[in-house]
Amino acid sequence: MPGILTPTETERRPERRPQRRTDDPDHGDHGNGRRPPTDKRTGGGGDGDNWNDRPQGSRGPREKLKRYRLGVFFALAGDLMFFVAIVSAFFVSQASGRFDAYNNYINPWLPTAIPPVLWLNTAVLIISSVTAEIARRKMFHQFDVMEEWFGLGKPTSRRAMPWLAATAFLGLVFLAGQWLAWQQLNVQGVFMRSNVSSHFFFLITGVHGIHLVLGVGALVGALLSLRYSQQVENRQIIVDCSVWYWHSMGVFWIFLFALLAFFQ
Protein backbone atom coordinates (compact mmCIF):
# COMPACT_ATOMS: atom_id res chain seq x y z
CA MET A 1 0.00 0.00 0.00
CA PRO A 2 1.29 3.46 -0.83
CA GLY A 3 2.09 5.66 2.08
CA ILE A 4 0.28 8.64 0.67
CA LEU A 5 -2.70 8.97 -1.55
CA THR A 6 -1.54 9.30 -5.14
CA PRO A 7 -3.29 11.90 -7.26
CA THR A 8 -4.74 9.27 -9.57
CA GLU A 9 -6.42 7.52 -6.70
CA THR A 10 -7.81 10.75 -5.38
CA GLU A 11 -9.33 11.45 -8.72
CA ARG A 12 -10.70 7.95 -9.14
CA ARG A 13 -12.64 7.93 -5.91
CA PRO A 14 -15.37 10.47 -6.60
CA GLU A 15 -15.80 9.06 -10.07
CA ARG A 16 -16.43 5.58 -8.75
CA ARG A 17 -19.18 6.63 -6.43
CA PRO A 18 -20.34 10.02 -7.47
CA GLN A 19 -22.00 12.45 -5.11
CA ARG A 20 -21.87 10.40 -1.97
CA ARG A 21 -21.61 12.26 1.24
CA THR A 22 -19.51 9.50 2.76
CA ASP A 23 -16.76 10.19 0.24
CA ASP A 24 -15.96 13.24 2.26
CA PRO A 25 -14.13 12.06 5.40
CA ASP A 26 -15.57 14.98 7.32
CA HIS A 27 -19.05 13.60 6.78
CA GLY A 28 -18.15 10.05 7.57
CA ASP A 29 -20.08 9.95 10.77
CA HIS A 30 -23.55 11.21 10.08
CA GLY A 31 -24.39 10.94 13.73
CA ASN A 32 -25.24 13.52 16.30
CA GLY A 33 -22.75 16.04 15.05
CA ARG A 34 -20.27 15.63 17.86
CA ARG A 35 -17.53 13.54 16.40
CA PRO A 36 -14.75 12.80 18.86
CA PRO A 37 -11.20 13.12 17.59
CA THR A 38 -10.75 9.38 18.06
CA ASP A 39 -13.07 8.61 15.18
CA LYS A 40 -10.31 8.63 12.67
CA ARG A 41 -7.51 6.16 12.91
CA THR A 42 -4.06 7.66 12.75
CA GLY A 43 -2.16 6.77 9.67
CA GLY A 44 -3.79 9.60 7.89
CA GLY A 45 -5.98 9.06 4.97
CA GLY A 46 -3.76 7.24 2.51
CA ASP A 47 -2.98 3.86 3.93
CA GLY A 48 -6.25 2.37 3.00
CA ASP A 49 -6.87 2.86 6.68
CA ASN A 50 -9.36 5.61 6.21
CA TRP A 51 -12.98 5.77 7.18
CA ASN A 52 -14.33 4.96 3.78
CA ASP A 53 -12.14 1.96 3.28
CA ARG A 54 -13.40 0.06 6.24
CA PRO A 55 -16.72 -1.80 6.23
CA GLN A 56 -19.85 -0.26 7.61
CA GLY A 57 -20.26 -0.96 11.28
CA SER A 58 -16.58 -1.09 12.15
CA ARG A 59 -15.27 2.20 10.90
CA GLY A 60 -14.94 4.24 14.01
CA PRO A 61 -15.54 4.00 17.73
CA ARG A 62 -18.61 6.19 17.51
CA GLU A 63 -20.22 3.85 15.01
CA LYS A 64 -19.50 0.77 17.09
CA LEU A 65 -20.75 2.53 20.22
CA LYS A 66 -24.00 3.46 18.52
CA ARG A 67 -24.49 -0.13 17.37
CA TYR A 68 -24.13 -1.49 20.88
CA ARG A 69 -26.27 1.27 22.33
CA LEU A 70 -29.02 0.51 19.84
CA GLY A 71 -28.83 -3.17 20.74
CA VAL A 72 -29.29 -2.30 24.40
CA PHE A 73 -32.25 -0.06 23.56
CA PHE A 74 -33.96 -2.80 21.55
CA ALA A 75 -33.40 -5.24 24.41
CA LEU A 76 -34.84 -2.66 26.82
CA ALA A 77 -37.89 -2.25 24.58
CA GLY A 78 -38.51 -5.98 24.95
CA ASP A 79 -37.94 -5.70 28.66
CA LEU A 80 -40.42 -2.86 28.84
CA MET A 81 -43.03 -5.16 27.28
CA PHE A 82 -42.20 -7.75 29.95
CA PHE A 83 -43.05 -5.24 32.67
CA VAL A 84 -46.04 -3.92 30.76
CA ALA A 85 -47.44 -7.46 30.66
CA ILE A 86 -47.02 -7.85 34.41
CA VAL A 87 -48.51 -4.43 35.13
CA SER A 88 -51.53 -5.16 32.93
CA ALA A 89 -51.98 -8.43 34.79
CA PHE A 90 -51.86 -6.34 37.98
CA PHE A 91 -54.72 -4.10 36.85
CA VAL A 92 -56.78 -6.99 35.49
CA SER A 93 -56.45 -8.93 38.72
CA GLN A 94 -57.20 -5.85 40.78
CA ALA A 95 -60.42 -5.22 38.90
CA SER A 96 -61.73 -8.76 38.76
CA GLY A 97 -63.87 -10.40 41.38
CA ARG A 98 -66.27 -13.31 41.50
CA PHE A 99 -69.75 -14.23 42.70
CA ASP A 100 -70.05 -16.48 45.72
CA ALA A 101 -72.75 -19.08 46.37
CA TYR A 102 -75.18 -16.36 47.54
CA ASN A 103 -74.65 -14.26 44.46
CA ASN A 104 -72.61 -11.64 46.30
CA TYR A 105 -69.87 -9.99 44.31
CA ILE A 106 -66.55 -10.49 46.04
CA ASN A 107 -63.26 -8.84 45.23
CA PRO A 108 -60.66 -10.34 47.55
CA TRP A 109 -57.96 -7.77 46.69
CA LEU A 110 -56.46 -6.40 49.92
CA PRO A 111 -53.92 -3.67 49.25
CA THR A 112 -50.44 -4.49 50.55
CA ALA A 113 -49.17 -1.61 52.68
CA ILE A 114 -45.71 -0.87 51.32
CA PRO A 115 -42.88 -0.75 53.88
CA PRO A 116 -41.59 2.85 54.26
CA VAL A 117 -38.05 1.69 53.53
CA LEU A 118 -39.06 1.60 49.85
CA TRP A 119 -38.99 5.40 49.80
CA LEU A 120 -35.42 5.30 50.98
CA ASN A 121 -34.56 2.63 48.41
CA THR A 122 -36.07 4.74 45.66
CA ALA A 123 -33.94 7.70 46.73
CA VAL A 124 -30.84 5.48 46.73
CA LEU A 125 -31.63 4.24 43.23
CA ILE A 126 -32.12 7.78 41.93
CA ILE A 127 -28.78 8.85 43.44
CA SER A 128 -27.13 5.80 41.89
CA SER A 129 -28.43 6.88 38.50
CA VAL A 130 -26.80 10.28 39.01
CA THR A 131 -23.44 8.73 39.89
CA ALA A 132 -23.77 6.38 36.93
CA GLU A 133 -24.38 9.29 34.59
CA ILE A 134 -21.34 11.11 35.97
CA ALA A 135 -19.24 7.99 35.35
CA ARG A 136 -20.62 7.72 31.81
CA ARG A 137 -19.76 11.33 31.01
CA LYS A 138 -16.28 10.94 32.42
CA MET A 139 -15.71 8.24 29.81
CA PHE A 140 -16.43 10.71 27.03
CA HIS A 141 -14.56 13.71 28.39
CA GLN A 142 -12.78 14.95 25.31
CA PHE A 143 -9.45 16.01 26.80
CA ASP A 144 -9.13 12.73 28.66
CA VAL A 145 -9.98 10.71 25.56
CA MET A 146 -7.37 12.66 23.61
CA GLU A 147 -4.77 12.08 26.30
CA GLU A 148 -5.51 8.38 26.13
CA TRP A 149 -5.23 8.55 22.41
CA PHE A 150 -1.78 10.05 22.69
CA GLY A 151 -0.84 7.20 25.03
CA LEU A 152 -0.74 9.24 28.24
CA GLY A 153 -2.23 6.67 30.60
CA LYS A 154 -5.90 5.96 31.19
CA PRO A 155 -7.37 9.17 32.63
CA THR A 156 -10.94 8.30 31.60
CA SER A 157 -10.83 5.09 33.60
CA ARG A 158 -9.19 6.78 36.55
CA ARG A 159 -11.91 9.41 36.71
CA ALA A 160 -14.88 7.17 35.98
CA MET A 161 -13.97 4.30 38.25
CA PRO A 162 -14.93 5.80 41.65
CA TRP A 163 -18.31 6.94 40.31
CA LEU A 164 -19.00 3.58 38.76
CA ALA A 165 -17.97 1.79 41.94
CA ALA A 166 -20.27 4.09 43.89
CA THR A 167 -23.11 3.18 41.52
CA ALA A 168 -22.54 -0.54 42.03
CA PHE A 169 -22.38 0.00 45.79
CA LEU A 170 -25.62 2.01 45.80
CA GLY A 171 -27.19 -0.73 43.69
CA LEU A 172 -26.26 -3.28 46.32
CA VAL A 173 -27.66 -0.97 49.02
CA PHE A 174 -30.93 -0.80 47.06
CA LEU A 175 -31.06 -4.58 46.77
CA ALA A 176 -30.39 -4.92 50.49
CA GLY A 177 -33.16 -2.41 51.12
CA GLN A 178 -35.57 -4.42 49.00
CA TRP A 179 -34.62 -7.52 50.96
CA LEU A 180 -35.29 -5.60 54.16
CA ALA A 181 -38.72 -4.60 52.85
CA TRP A 182 -39.52 -8.25 52.18
CA GLN A 183 -38.40 -9.17 55.69
CA GLN A 184 -40.56 -6.44 57.20
CA LEU A 185 -43.59 -7.71 55.31
CA ASN A 186 -42.85 -11.28 56.35
CA VAL A 187 -42.69 -10.21 59.99
CA GLN A 188 -46.14 -8.66 59.55
CA GLY A 189 -47.31 -12.02 58.22
CA VAL A 190 -47.54 -10.89 54.60
CA PHE A 191 -46.05 -13.42 52.21
CA MET A 192 -46.16 -13.83 48.48
CA ARG A 193 -49.06 -16.26 48.74
CA SER A 194 -51.11 -14.18 51.17
CA ASN A 195 -53.23 -12.11 48.81
CA VAL A 196 -53.51 -11.23 45.15
CA SER A 197 -51.94 -7.86 45.79
CA SER A 198 -49.06 -9.43 47.73
CA HIS A 199 -48.51 -11.84 44.81
CA PHE A 200 -47.91 -8.81 42.69
CA PHE A 201 -45.88 -6.93 45.30
CA PHE A 202 -43.37 -9.74 45.66
CA LEU A 203 -43.41 -10.60 41.97
CA ILE A 204 -42.75 -7.04 40.82
CA THR A 205 -40.06 -6.30 43.39
CA GLY A 206 -38.58 -9.73 42.70
CA VAL A 207 -38.30 -9.52 38.93
CA HIS A 208 -37.07 -5.93 39.18
CA GLY A 209 -34.52 -7.10 41.74
CA ILE A 210 -33.30 -9.79 39.33
CA HIS A 211 -32.87 -7.09 36.69
CA LEU A 212 -30.83 -5.05 39.14
CA VAL A 213 -28.66 -8.04 40.04
CA LEU A 214 -27.89 -8.32 36.33
CA GLY A 215 -27.26 -4.57 36.28
CA VAL A 216 -24.79 -4.79 39.17
CA GLY A 217 -23.15 -7.65 37.28
CA ALA A 218 -22.83 -5.39 34.22
CA LEU A 219 -21.37 -2.60 36.37
CA VAL A 220 -18.84 -4.98 37.88
CA GLY A 221 -17.97 -6.12 34.35
CA ALA A 222 -17.54 -2.48 33.37
CA LEU A 223 -15.30 -1.88 36.40
CA LEU A 224 -13.16 -4.85 35.43
CA SER A 225 -12.90 -3.58 31.88
CA LEU A 226 -11.89 -0.14 33.17
CA ARG A 227 -9.10 -1.86 35.05
CA TYR A 228 -7.96 -4.34 32.43
CA SER A 229 -9.08 -3.24 28.96
CA GLN A 230 -6.55 -1.20 27.00
CA GLN A 231 -8.86 0.06 24.28
CA VAL A 232 -10.71 3.21 25.20
CA GLU A 233 -13.52 2.41 22.71
CA ASN A 234 -14.33 -0.85 24.44
CA ARG A 235 -14.34 0.75 27.86
CA GLN A 236 -16.59 3.52 26.60
CA ILE A 237 -19.00 1.00 25.12
CA ILE A 238 -19.32 -1.23 28.15
CA VAL A 239 -19.70 1.70 30.55
CA ASP A 240 -22.17 3.47 28.28
CA CYS A 241 -24.34 0.39 27.78
CA SER A 242 -24.33 -0.62 31.44
CA VAL A 243 -25.26 2.89 32.46
CA TRP A 244 -28.10 3.15 29.97
CA TYR A 245 -29.40 -0.17 31.28
CA TRP A 246 -29.05 1.15 34.82
CA HIS A 247 -30.96 4.34 34.04
CA SER A 248 -33.77 2.32 32.47
CA MET A 249 -34.05 0.10 35.50
CA GLY A 250 -34.27 3.25 37.60
CA VAL A 251 -37.06 4.64 35.43
CA PHE A 252 -38.87 1.28 35.44
CA TRP A 253 -38.61 1.23 39.22
CA ILE A 254 -40.07 4.70 39.61
CA PHE A 255 -43.13 3.60 37.65
CA LEU A 256 -43.37 0.27 39.45
CA PHE A 257 -42.96 1.97 42.82
CA ALA A 258 -45.66 4.49 41.95
CA LEU A 259 -47.88 1.58 40.98
CA LEU A 260 -47.30 -0.22 44.27
CA ALA A 261 -47.49 2.91 46.40
CA PHE A 262 -50.43 4.76 44.89
CA PHE A 263 -52.43 2.45 42.63
CA GLN A 264 -53.23 -0.46 44.88
Residue 98 makes CB contacts below 8 A (sequence gap 6+) with: 105, 106
- The residues facing 98 across adjacent strands are 106
How far apart CA 182 and CA 24 sit, in angstroms, is 59
Asked if 196 interacts with another protein (CB under 8 A), we say yes
How far apart CA 264 and CA 66 sit, in angstroms, is 40
Site residues for another protein, window 62-81 (CB under 8 A)? 63, 66-68, 70-71, 74-75, 77-81
- Nearest distance in Å: CB 158, another protein: 29
Q: Which of 98, 143, 151, 228 binds another protein (CB under 8 A)?
A: 98
Q: Which of 120, 126, 134, 192 binds another protein (CB under 8 A)?
A: 192
Q: Which of 184, 195, 229, 264 binds another protein (CB under 8 A)?
A: 195
Which DSSP state fits 111?
Answer: P
Report in angstroms the alpha-carbon separations of 6 from 13, 42, 49. 11, 18, 14
* Binding segment (CB under 8 A) for another protein, from list 3-11, 50-58, 158-166, 221-229: 50-58
Q: What would the x/- binding string for another protein be over residues 108 to 147, using CB under 8 A?
A: xx--------------------------------------
Amino acid 88 reads S
Report in angstroms the alpha-carbon separations of 197 from 92, 107, 117, 175. 11, 11, 19, 21
Binding site for another protein (CB under 8 A): 1, 17, 20, 22, 47-49, 52-58, 63, 66-68, 70-71, 74-75, 77-86, 89, 92-93, 96-98, 107-109, 192-196, 199, 203, 207
